Structure 1
């Protein structure tokens, strides 16, 4: 029994290290989101850090329109980055979970 417990503890520690490495790797995964007409482009990491925003000159004439574009495009970029982040971290965490009967129900 204690051998299994020590093995599980080692596996959990290994999983923690893999999660940490995955979080670091996600700092370097860039995603690009554009407005529907390509007038605004946002680049964001999978850890939800904005890297750049490119604004077409035509949007600079109308402050309200630019604000709307920014809100919509930034929210889409953050949502997409969150999906990638959560999927990557969930895959690493699930891979490293010890085989405990009934745990599959909690991971779904």
Structure 2
């Protein structure tokens, strides 16, 4: 009915391995985001890990403004990281999935 079950299991393991390799690679993909005319710069990985935050001293005088810019910039960086992460993991998972009729999950 399903053909070669052991072949499909091998393909699933291969897909899982590709996903894990992609996750490791995404730790090296850096995304830079800035706001306030470049006064705040944030670097995150595609796995949504914050690597660096640089704040211009002029923003240290106004706590609320600094907090607002940090939230804005972090959200933008994490959104971009999430989009890259999802795209890359979907490609990795699809590449290793066995071809099971009626189970086209990644259109």
Answer whether TM exceeds 0.5 for this pair: yes
Unpaired runs of 5+ residues, structure 1, are: none
Tell me the TM-score normalized by structure 2.
0.92
* Matches of 1:107 and 1:36, distance apart in 2: 39
Q: How does 1:24-63 map to 2 (within 5 A)?
A: 24-35=24-35, 37-63=37-63
Aligned to 1:92: 92
SS at 1:103 equivalent: coil
Displacement of 1:102 after TM fit? 2.4
Displacement of 1:107 after TM fit? 2.2
Large movers: runs of 4+ above 6 Å? none
Unpaired runs of 5+ residues, structure 2, are: none
Q: Pairwise CA RMSD of aligned residues?
A: 1.5
* Matches of 1:25 and 1:12, distance apart in 2: 20
Retained in 1: the 8 A contact 2:23–2:89? yes
Tell me the TM-score normalized by structure 1.
0.92
* Matches of 1:35 and 1:96, distance apart in 2: 39
SS at 1:53 equivalent: strand
Aligned to 1:23: 23
Displacement of 1:3 after TM fit? 6.0
Give aligned pairs, total. 107
Deviations 1:2-39 (A, max 9, x none): 86111111011111111111111111111101115111
SS at 1:107 equivalent: coil
SS at 2:4 equivalent: helix
